[in-house]
Amino acid sequence: MTASSAAPELILHNGRIATQDERRSFAEAAAIRDGRFLAVSADRDVLALRGPGTRVIDLGGRTVIPGLNDSHLHVIRGGLNYNLELRWDGVPSLADGLRMLREQAARTPAPQWVRVVGGWSEFQFAEKRLPTLDELNEAAPDTPVFVLHLYCQAMLNRAALRAVGYDKDTPNPPGGEIRRDKHGNPTGLLIARPNATILYATLAKGPKLPLEYQYNSTRQFMRELNRLGLTSVIDAGGGYQNYPEDYQVIDELHQRGELTLRIAYNLFTQKPQQEKDDFARWIKMAKPGQGDDVFRLNGAGEMLVFSAADFEDFLEPRPDLPARLETDLEAVVSLLAANRWPFRLHATYDESITRFLDVFEKVNQAHPLDGLHWFLDHAETISDRNIERVRALGGGIAVQHRMAFQGEYFAARYGHAATAATPPVARMLRTGVPVGAGTDATRVANYNPWDSLYWLVSGRTVGGFELYPEENRLSRMEALRLYTVGSAWFSTETGKKGSIVPGQLADLAVLTEDYFTVPEERIKRIQSVLTVLGGKVVHAAGDFDDYAPPPLPVTPDWSPASYFGGYGAPKFYAQASNFSAHPSGCLCPAHRPHSVGCQCPAHGFNATSVLARLLNPAKAPADAVLRAAPAGGFFGLGCDCFAF
């Protein structure tokens, strides 16, 4: 081997590199060859390795982190639909959201819909409320509009009701309600009670993108995630995501070498009461680990059996799972464990988790689970005892920032004291259970990892409501480790990625601001200016724009992604001079952080807020009312309504 062939292909220097090694050390420079880190050290030592063909990038003192790894993101489904969806994620006011909707309705051709499919909360808006049906009908009188709010409800304008065929003769489906006026006609409000089937079944009635546009849509979504510093995702499957049919696009992009994320995917059962048949068929077709470092099968889940689905709609009571749960779950988990298939399971409530672990302990006697890298997803109310049971069985827990979107609702139902450790992330870490971080995007939460990191560090919702005391918040270094080293465990890749150390996969992100020192409120606004996957630049902006991959025009040309961009609608605000003129971190009234319990109009209750109608407070700030919520919540006073 010649000296030039042994030289690195890329050197990054003059940076502040958070290596995430065992010592949590920082370095100045990193050298990359053959898709892996070759050397990580001081500038002088690393620059001495360069050869005639080495590309050298001066980082200008910026902070560098390992590429972020979301351990629970529905990236395959999200990619197929990204170009179809108008995103309110990170939009600061409902007025802006409705303006975006109005503009998009005007350009969307028939028979396509305008879809706002989750990823937002009423509390992120200055108005602190949801849109009304009248507002949707005014904004789009002729174009179908579908607006999904978390797992609890969807709003359809009159044109969408006509498109899906709902009228006064349409019965309520099992597990859902079509809200009606006094004449029995649907109003456009769909209520998930007790699960989201009605919401997703209605959404599935809309037109899909043609196959050629689905390729572009998936690439656009990956580029959007790269913009935020993500380089790896563990896909959690999803309803209406059939294997192998709905994996055609992502598999073809992998074959073409066009994936800009590493994706480990789990298979989600699609047929109630036929779940074991699904997994038996897939076990014959594929095996965990099949694929490569970019695209590979991870295992089963997050839905293993439908009888175990304890969906987290905190505006509704905790669902009582059926008696057949144990029989259903034991059959599937026994099959998976016997064939050494890792699995994950959606698990919100401790009451459900207790029953799940009873089954796992029974299966473990015949088919040991240790070393299988099985894990629970979410675990918002898991008890100390059940954390210990997970540890004893060799499992892990993947947490997401769903409480950042539903924390206010949880406090209203169960009392503010109950939010203090929901989920108990710090206790999980002290127990020694593997913990990974993620978002559960794109429907029940947004996909921005910096919102999730802000939640872990600050203990606040996207609306600024304080959920957690100091003891259940993480340091910035601890939180980052959950998104790097921590998440690697959940795809059985510990030691392969997650750290910037010699021998590991060369994935990293160079940040707009220093995550470790920036004021807490500005964590949410961090992005990547240079994202590297396996030594190749997959995103570049600002001072590094010369290194950017070739542009990728959005198709179709009427796509919301083309006109608004992704998280935070950057293209929309770039066109509005009153926003584009504001520097990052400005302290104007629209952007300055508000203190907890402040008396400004934005933090008082709006009369059309879902939460305001549930609590009916007397002109008190929202934060103050929720902090005073009694044990058992306001719902304990006898109100168990779903108010609008």
Give the domain ranges of the chain: 10-61, 82-205, 211-540
Give the pLDDT of residue 139.
98
Whole-model pTM?
0.92
Domain at 82-205: CATH architecture:
Roll (3.10)
For residue 278, how many other CB atoms are within 10 A of its CB? 21
Residue 192: strand pairing partners = 176
Which tokens sit at 312?
Answer: 């987290």
Report, as an integer, the average pLDDT of 407-424: 94
Give the pLDDT of residue 195.
78
Q: How far is CA 415 from CA 145, 310, 539, 627, in A?
A: 35, 20, 44, 8
From the list 419, 524, 517, 514, the residue with the least C-alpha distance to 472 is 419
In total, the chain counts a number of residues equal to 644
Band (pLDDT 50/70/90 cuts) for residue 312 is confident
Which tokens sit at 165?
Answer: 């065929």
Which tokens sit at 4?
Answer: 């030039």
The phi, psi pair for 465, rounded to 5°, reads -75, 130
Q: Provide, rounded to the nearest whole percent, the portion of the chain with pLDDT above 90.
A: 84
Instruction: Give dist(CA 338, CA 276) in Å, integer.
Output: 13
**Interval 6-57: pLDDT, tens:** 899 999 999 999 999 999 999 999 999 999 999 999 999 999 999 999 999 9
Outline where DSSP puts E strands in 44-104: 55-58, 63-66, 68-73
Q: Identify the H or E element spanning 37.
A: strand 36-41
Asked, colleague to colleague, whether 10-61 and 82-205 share their fold, the answer is: no
Is the CB of residue 619 less than 8 Å from the CB of residue 627? Answer: no
**More confident site: 398 or 621:** 398
Give the pLDDT of residue 527.
98
**Interval 281-311: pLDDT, tens:** 999 999 999 999 999 999 999 999 999 999 8
Report, as an integer, the average pLDDT of 510-522: 98
Report, as an integer, the average pLDDT of 320-341: 97
Torsion sign, CA atoms 273, 206, 72, 93: negative
Q: Cβ contacts of residue 195 below 8 Å, gap of 6+? A: 151, 175, 176, 309, 311, 313, 319
Which burial class, exposed, middle or buried, applies to 201 when counting CB atoms under 10 A from its CB (0-12, 13-18, 19+)? Answer: middle
Give the pLDDT of residue 193.
83
Q: Cβ contacts of residue 91 below 8 Å, gap of 6+? A: 97, 100, 120, 124, 125, 568, 569
Band (pLDDT 50/70/90 cuts) for residue 239 is confident
* CATH homologous superfamily for the domain 10-61: Urease, subunit C, domain 1 (2.30.40.10)
Q: What is the DSSP string of 360-417?
A: HHHHHHHS--TTS--EEEE-TT--HHHHHHHHHTT-EEEEETTHHHHHHHHHHHH-GG
Using the structure block, give the residue that is written with the tokens 């572009």. 216
* CATH of region 211-540, choose from 3.20.20.140, 1.10.1040.10, 3.40.605.10, 3.40.50.300: 3.20.20.140
- 588, pLDDT greater than 60: no
From the list 151, 117, 116, 119, the residue with the least C-alpha distance to 135 is 116
3-state secondary structure of 643: coil
Buried b (16+ CB within 10 A) or exposed e, 222-251: bbbbbbbbbbbbbbbbbbebebeebbebbe
Instruction: Give dist(CA 294, CA 291) in Å, integer.
Output: 8
- 112, pLDDT greater than 60: yes
- 419, pLDDT greater than 70: yes
* Mean pLDDT (the chain, rounded): 91
Instruction: Give dist(CA 559, CA 269) in Å, integer.
Output: 31
